[in-house]
Structure 1
Amino acid sequence: MVVVSSMAIVGAGPGLGAAVARRFGREGFGIALVARDRERLDALVRELGETGITVRGFAADVRRPEELAHALDEAGRALGTVEVLQYSPVPHRDFMRPVLETGHRELVGPIEFSVYGPVAAVQQVLPGMRRLGRGTILFVNGGTAVVPRPERAGTSIAFAAETAYGHLLHERLAGEGIHVGQLVIPGSITAGHARKDPRVLAQLLWNMHRERHGFRHFADDLDS
C-alpha cells in the first residue's frame, strides 16, 4: 500500500481506535497508534497490520507531555508528517468523583489528561501540518464536555477546558487549511448500536475530516 500521509491516534485501543485506524488506513494513511500499554499496543499493531494497513505503535502516557511529544515525533519520522491527529484517550474512573469530594489535588490528573496532553500533542504536530498546508485535529469527548455532571466533576471540568482549547484552535487555524473538530459521544461506545458502534463513529470521524465544517459534532442525543 502506498502511504499518502499519516494519522496519529492518541489513546488507541481495540474499540474506537482500531475502527478509526481501519477506516483511515483504507484510504492509504499510515497509522500511528499511541497508548500506554506496550503489550496491548503491540497486539493491536499486529492485528491491524494483518489487514494490510501500514501501522506502527508508540508507547506514551498522555499525562507526561514530554513523553507524548516524543512519541509523536517518532511517529512522524517513521510514517511521515502527521496530517491527522485524533486525541481520544479514555478517562480514568477516579477522575469521576462527586464535585463536593473533588479538591484541587483530585483535579491534577484530569487536567493533565485533558489539557496538558492535548496541548502537547497539538504543539508537536502543528508545525508539520503547517508545512503541508493542511491538517485535521479531532478531539473525542464524552457528554460531560457539554453538560457537566455533579457526580463526574473531574471530567466535567477538564473536558470543558479541552473543549475551550479545541474551539480556540478551530477559530485560529481555519485560515491555514487546518480543521479542528470535536466529536461528543454521550454515554458508552457500544458495539451494534446504530449511532455509537465503533465503525459508525469511525465513519463519522472520517466525514469530519473530509467535510471540514463546524467545530462540534454529536454521535448521539445528549439525553440518551
Structure 2
Amino acid sequence: MADTLNGTVALVTGASSGIGEATAVDLARHGAAVALVARRRDRLDALAGRIGDAGGTALVIEADVADESAVGAAVARTVAELGRLDTVVANAGVMLLGPVADAPTEEWRRMVNLNVLGLMYTAHAALPHLLAAAEDGPRGVGDLVLVSSVAGRVARNGSGVYNATKHAVGAFGEALRQEVTQRHVRVALVEPGAVDTELAGHNRPEIMPSLEARFADMERLEAIDIAEAVSFVVTRPRRTAINEVLVRPTEQQG
C-alpha cells in the first residue's frame, strides 16, 4: 500500500505541526509529492528535510490560509512546481475556548477567519485542479479532506464559537460533496476527538486549567492516528468515497 499515491500531488495546510505534519509525512510515505503550507517556515523546512531524507518530495510554501490571495498563490505554486494537484487536506485551524460572556471577540474572528474562511478559500482555490485530476489524473479521482472536530457534532459549554466554526465546516463539506461527487471529486470530513498536539496551548492562561482537567485521566490520540485516517480515506479505490470519519480516544465520552 506504500505506493498507492505514486504520481500524485497533495497539499496540506497547517503542516508545521500536529495533525498536518503527521499527515504530510504519511501521504509522502504513500508516494505523493507533498506541498507543505503553513506560516512557520523553519518548521516546514525541517519537515521537508525529513520527507526528503526518507526518499519523498516536499515543497515548502509559507502562507497564512486566512489570506485568500495567499491561498490562491500557494495552490498555483504547487501546480506550477509539482505539476498537478490530486489531494488537498484542509487542516489549518485554531481552538480558542471560553464562555461567550465577556469573551475577547478577536478570538472569535481568528477562529472564523481560519477555521471557516481559510478552509473555504483552500477548497475554492484547489477545486479546479481537483476536478482536473479526476478527469485525467493517474487515479481518476480528486480528494478534498476537511479536518473538523468532534466539536462539529457535539456542542459544549465554553466552546460555543469553536463549535459554530466546526459545524460550519460540516455543512460546507456536505454541500460541496453533493456538488462535485458525480465528477469524481470526493469530499471527506475527518473529525478528531482529543489529540495530543499543541492546539489547546493557544488558549488564554485562565482557560488552561479546565482544559487540562478535562483530559487529565484520558489517553489522548496521537497525530499519527488522524494522519492514518486521512491516508485511508484518500487511498480508497475510485469507486469508494469515505465521506465522514469520527475518531475519538477510547476513553472519551463526549
The answer to whether the superposition gives a TM-score over 0.5 is yes
Quickly say closer, same or farther: Cα 1:61–1:177, change in 2 above 3 A.
Answer: same
1:29-178 equivalence runs, <5 A: 29-92=32-95, 95-102=96-103, 106-133=107-134, 134-178=141-185
Letter in 2 for 1:55: A
Quick one: distance in 2 between partners of 1:29 and 1:117? 23
* Alignment correspondent of 1:223: 253
Contact 1:18–1:48 (CA under 8 A) maintained in structure 2: no
Contact 2:28–2:51 (CA under 8 A) maintained in structure 1: no
Q: CA deviation at 1:3?
A: 5.4
Q: CA deviation at 1:122?
A: 1.0
Q: CA deviation at 1:8?
A: 0.3
What residue ranges of structure 1 are gaps of 5+ in the alignment? none
Q: CA deviation at 1:127?
A: 0.7
Letter in 2 for 1:56: L
* Alignment correspondent of 1:200: 225
Deviates more, 1:141-150 or 1:176-185: 141-150
Quick one: distance in 2 between partners of 1:115 and 1:147? 17
Quick one: distance in 1 between partners of 2:220 and 2:108? 31
Q: CA deviation at 1:22?
A: 2.5
Q: How many residues align?
A: 220
Q: CA RMSD in A?
A: 2.4
SS at match of 1:99: coil
Deviates more, 1:143-152 or 1:50-59: 143-152
Q: Which has the higher strand share?
A: 1
Letter in 2 for 1:120: Y
Residue of structure 2 aligned with 1:23, choices 22, 26, 36: 26
SS at match of 2:233: helix
What residue ranges of structure 2 are gaps of 5+ in the alignment? 135-140, 198-217
Deviates more, 1:97-106 or 1:160-169: 97-106
Larger Rg: 2
Deviations 1:73-115 (A, max 9, x none): 11121112211000112415xx323122347654222111112
Q: Which runs of 4+ in 1 moved over 6 A?
A: none
SS at match of 1:62: coil
Deviations 1:52-78 (A, max 9, x none): 110011011122121122112111211
Quick one: distance in 1 between partners of 2:102 and 2:9? 42
Q: CA deviation at 1:201?
A: 2.2
Quick one: distance in 2 between partners of 1:189 and 1:208? 22
Contact 2:150–2:246 (CA under 8 A) maintained in structure 1: no
* Alignment correspondent of 1:10: 13
Quick one: distance in 2 between partners of 1:195 and 1:207? 20
Contact 1:195–1:201 (CA under 8 A) maintained in structure 2: no
SS at match of 1:82: coil
- TM-score, scaled to structure 2: 0.78
Deviations 1:158-211 (A, max 9, x none): 111111111111121110100001111111247xx9983333322211111133
Identity of aligned residues (%): 21
